[in-house]
Structure 1
Amino acid sequence: MLLTHSTSRFGEYVWELHTPDGASIGRAVALPGDTILLTQVTVAADHRGHGHATRLLHAVCAHFTETPIHVVACPLAGEAPLDRASLRAWYGRHGFTPHPRRGDPYLMLRKRGTPCTSLHAGRAASSRP
């Protein structure tokens, strides 16, 4: 798999994961700021369960080691079988902690300097999402 990184014309940081033949199978998007806002980590349904989302998330975290990262741990519409609890647990295994705010109970934070590795690295290839 090939992982690419770019900056969109809107200033977003974008990571894309491609198969050897060039097909896009995953994407992560983050908005810059004093605290990074991770707005998307998605993997095509037929490529889930192989650690691709973990690889994308680790790429984002490695890029922003000295900047806090916020994420809203709420699955996108149509992202079955993911649910909020599973998604929160997955982000938690990667160093994010609950950081709810009024009107945003699913907000999580990865503090500056938190290691990029999963707390369950041996399970990364089989963990969802």
Structure 2
Amino acid sequence: MSLARQGMYFILVGLLQVLVDWAVFVGLTSLGVPAVPANLGGRVCGACLGFWLNGRITFAAAGKARLGGARLVRFLMVWLVLTALSTAAMAWIADGQGLGWAWLAKPLVEAALALTSFLFARHWIYR
């Protein structure tokens, strides 16, 4: 699959992931859950959806899904690093600027991490 096509699908899947991640984050924090565990909850929900959709659609080869244990391990390694960065950013924003700003910043933080995620996904996770 071409870079442009993979990029388009990655963006569409990513938008869906960010929507799920953000909705869980906002929902949990509005119920009183602190920003760090709420961010982790949102990231887990988004990651499950993203790993599956990207393996089935974005990086599939000749109609065959690219999932499985080895790819999941590579995905989790990248996800853990990006989640640590995202969670640190959300905690910093929520503590310094307030929860409302963290809600607004969440999609921007995730978008900033998306390019790194795409490069790892294309060249290492789903190869």
For the aligned pair, the TM-score class normalised by the smaller chain equals: 0.3 to 0.5
TM-score by length of 2: 0.32
> Which structure has the highest strand share of the two?
1
TM-score, length-scaled by structure 1: 0.32
Indicate the structure (1 or 2) with the bigger Cα radius of gyration: 2
| Greater relative CO (CA pairs within 8 A, separation 6+) | 2
Which has more helix, going by share of residues? 2
